[in-house]
Amino acid sequence: MNQIAMQTLVGKGVSGGVAIGRAVSITNRIAEVYRFPLEPHAVDAEIERFEEAVRLTEQETQRIQAKADGDLGEEMAAIFDAHLLMLRDDSFTGRISKEIRHEHINAEWAVYKVAGALEERFREIEDEYLKERSQDIRDVGRHLIKTLHGVSHHELSEIEGDVVVVADDLTPADAVRLGREQVVAFVIETGSRTSHTTIIARSLNIPLVAGLRGITERITDRDPLVVDGDEGTVVLHPTAAALTHYRERRAEAERRDRELLGTRDLKAVTRDGHAIQLMANIDLPEELDDLTQYGADGVGLYRSEFLYIEKSPEMPTEEEHVATYERIARTVAPHPAIIRTYDLGGRKLAREMTQIDEENPVLGLRGLRLTLGRPEIFRTQLRALFRAAREANLWVLLPMVSSVQEIRRFREYANEVRSELAAEGLCDLQPYKLGAMIEVPSAALTADILAREVDFFAIGTNDLIQYSLAVDRNNEHVADLYQPLHPAILRMLRMVVEAAQKADIELSLCGEMASDQRYAPLLVGLGLRRLSMSSRVIPTIKTLIRERRLDELEALAEECLELPSGTEVEARLESFLAEPVVATAD
């Protein structure tokens, strides 16, 4: 038998680690569709399953047509004639059956493949009437796949061993759901370092390589696949030698992680005795165990919208909110747990909440704007926060603040909710700390004014970079313009630090910059004394801080602030990290 040649594809490593598993392809273009290889003896049964789906789809289409005839008239009902003709046309359904038989694949993937090819061919026809039939093909394909899912569809749990999910795209909700099964890595055609799917992958400690266009068409289901999230590569059909190499790399990384865990009980203190607080960003309950293991000084950011994402389309109940917040607070006590109110809107679902389609949702109804625009939705969350804070060190953080007026309006609404709770007999409500995310330019430039209205700031660098540099952080075409070290960003960070110091309020930085060990010396040098990051990188950042003196970090920051470009700042940071260090602090 000929050995299939090994191929190495280069994408973007956005969640680190090395994983080896069996590839399973998913596409969300029509619906969630898996490609499953079939054993020869299972092919006949799969074709019978497809034929049953065709029969049920035809019945359903006839029912819809009859209803359309009654409600909308004969002309509208005739639209479904084309769908029925297609379902009865052997050149369409017969081709799908042949695909199943010859390629030994599941019916859903065969429908997706055949319908997609026909749709493309019809779109290329110049005749407008025939071109419009491509829409009919797409509709029938979707209907068939939906029916197949209802008949009895395949699940990941059917597959033995470790699974690498290869997809055109993944929503954060998909990443949560799949990450809790036997998935060991993700490979996607889209995505970026700061996308929410990437954040979820990091939270679950799952390697992810993004930006590999066409990968869903290239992978096979029968050979092992290596995903290297550190280097941003995917190895198809790895040789035995390559598998050995990657297994050794993975073992070495695990050994290094165990060594770093030895810092768990040490403080993050510079060599000249200045303490830096290293907190954790969390999204999922699974991460709570990591907080103690990696020595986090509290939770610097709990993205509460993931509580909604896990329950979507249902809303979490008030008791579920309370239980989650109390659990987080108990885990990190006596350190604080900073809970960010829902940061929904933008691309983070919540169409159920906004009830509108926005042309540019990233600049639309999201974060605090959505809170104030749909206060009834957030009453449950606020009630839960104030209830849980009676016996816990919970701080409330507002996302997407852009003006003083928004904070004042929130306080008025929060007072209403607290009065409501007091009227119900909860007389032991505690004063609460209120903070503002600094993640849009207007907030950074007016930080001195906002500082009079809140108890603390948390800088969200992911959005601050996006909005300041006018770069969509999920747009691969402008990915090279997304520069965390751009002089404009560094100057804004310094400005916010000075405003917080002058107002004597707490300040933290909880964007992805804090999780990057290359940036930690610069951030501390700029004046940040509290960084919040993925808990797994805390030992690495702590070790780095303990190797340096604060005065040398401050000198580094002053030098970087004078450099004219992000590229030059990055080069200076790399040379700084390459310099030899002396003994660490005790």
> For residue 379, what are its two tokens?
């009453």
Catalytic annotation on 245?
A: no
> For residue 484, what are its two tokens?
């965390």
> For residue 201, what are its two tokens?
């992958």
Q: Residue 429 gets which letter from DSSP?
A: P
Catalytic one of 153, 321, 510, 560 = 510
The distance from CA 78 to its chain's CA centroid, rounded to whole angstroms, is: 43
How many other CB atoms are there within 10 angstroms of residue 68's CB atom? 17
> For residue 128, what are its two tokens?
């407008």
Integer CA distances (angstroms), 229 to 15, 73, 163, 310, in order? 5, 56, 15, 25
Q: What gap in Å lies between CA 367 and CA 406, rounded to an integer?
A: 11
How many other CB atoms are there within 10 angstroms of residue 214's CB atom? 10
Yes or no: say if 13 and 232 are a contact pair by the CB < 8 Å rule.
yes
Amino acid at position 255, single letter: R
Q: Is 258 helix (H, G, I), strand (E, B) or coil?
A: helix
Q: At what angle do helices 550-561 and 566-578 cross, to 10 degrees?
A: 160
Amino acid at position 361, single letter: P
CA proximity to 23, closest of 166, 207, 217: 166
Do strands 337-340 and 394-398 pair parallel, antiparallel, or not at all (unpaired)?
A: parallel
Q: Which residues, including other chains, have CB under 8 Å from residue 112's CB and lie 6 or more apart?
A: 27, 29, 30, 33, 141, 145
CA proximity to 446, closest of 492, 412, 488: 492
Q: What gap in Å lies between CA 171 and CA 198, rounded to an integer?
A: 10
Catalytic annotation on 510?
A: yes
Yes or no: say if 322 and 315 are a contact pair by the CB < 8 Å rule.
no
Catalytic one of 143, 153, 196, 321 = 196
Q: Which residues pair with residue 301 across a beta bridge?
A: 281
Q: What gap in Å lies between CA 377 and CA 344, rounded to an integer?
A: 11
Q: What gap in Å lies between CA 155 and CA 149, rounded to an integer?
A: 10
Residue 481: what are its φ and ψ, rounded to 5°? -90, -10
Q: Residue 345 gets which letter from DSSP?
A: B
The residues annotated with a catalytic role in the active site are: 196, 510
